[in-house]
Amino acid sequence: QVQLVQSGAEVKKPGASVKVSCKASGYTFTSHYITWVRQAPGQGLEWMGWISGYNGDTTYEQKFRGRVTMTTDASTSTVSMELRSLRSADTAVYYCARVSGFTDVFDFWGQGTMVTVSS
Amino acid sequence: DIQMTQSPSSLSASVGDRVIITCRASQFISSHLHWYQQKPGKAPRVLIFAASSLQSGVPSRFSGTGSGTDFTLTISSLQPEDYATYYCQQSYSSPRTFGQGTKVEIK
């Protein structure tokens, strides 16, 4: 069965960086994009961008360009998302999700990783 | 960017009620519209994709309709496990955008 397992919670100081990983299993990794969505406490869902599991091509939401980098390691079926220059507004749960190749729906999700930015 | 607007933002309903949530896109998105359910502390899960297709494993009391700019999610008979927040999301163009969510609470 398809599974996405994310790395554990992080606490960072303002200005620092965080790297969250997402290990995929149960499907052909190179056949799908992985997307990242975040959710601030009590707020809605915010799309950050995505990366191809095939060739590492990325698309980032304009709001995050220059601060975010998504990478992929096909040998371990793992995608990582690094966010730099953290500020308190980046405190959120970060989710990875698989993108369906047919309809672009986010059909399987990781369990989420809480990132807290606090001095 | 395409703005997605859901209504209502919240509603109270009883078990057995028919619940309808609407989602409006700020521009044409054809049928590139998906619905997710999220329970507290959990990741979202997809209910409906491409406006009206039921995701595998999702109960048939959930249904979706619409195309163009206006869409609806219907729960035909609300069950206790359906109390959650529901989001629409468009995949017509980037950036992908979500509605603000509709919280379904117990009446």
State the pLDDT confidence band at A102, using cuts at 50, 70 and 90: confident
A54-59: long-range pairs with CB below 8 Å, 24+:
A54/A30, A59/B94
CA B48 to chain A, closest CA, distance in angstroms equals 9
CA B87 to chain A, closest CA, distance in angstroms equals 8
- Give the pLDDT mean for A89-118: 96
Interface size A-B, in CB pairs within 8 Å, comes to: 56
Contact in structure between B33 and B46 (CB atoms under 8 Å):
no
Substitution target in A36, A48, A105 with the highest count of B β-carbons within 10 Å is A105
State the pLDDT confidence band at A113, using cuts at 50, 70 and 90: very high
- Give the pLDDT mean for A103-108: 95
Q: Do A103 and B91 touch (CB under 8 A)?
A: yes
Can you tell me the distance from the alpha carbon of B59 to that of B81, in angstroms, rounded to the nearest whole number?
Answer: 11
Query: pLDDT tens for residues A67-82?
Result: 999 999 999 999 999 9
Return the SS3 of B15.
coil
Residue B100 has its nearest CB partner, among A35, A44, A47, at A44
pLDDT > 90? residue A111: yes
User: In chain A, what residues touch B100 (CB-CB under 8 Å)?
Assistant: 44
Please tell me the predicted confidence (pLDDT) of residue A101. Answer: 82
User: In chain B, what residues touch A65 (CB-CB under 8 Å)?
Assistant: none
Substitution target in B46, B58, B85, B102 with the highest count of A β-carbons within 10 Å is B46
Please tell me the predicted confidence (pLDDT) of residue B107. Answer: 87
Burial class (CB in 10 A: 0-12, 13-18, 19+), B45: middle
- Give the pLDDT mean for B61-81: 98
Can you tell me the distance from the alpha carbon of B16 to that of B19, in angstroms, rounded to the nearest whole number?
Answer: 9
Q: Do A44 and B94 touch (CB under 8 A)?
A: no
pLDDT > 90? residue B23: yes
Please tell me the predicted confidence (pLDDT) of residue A100. Answer: 95
State the pLDDT confidence band at B106, using cuts at 50, 70 and 90: confident
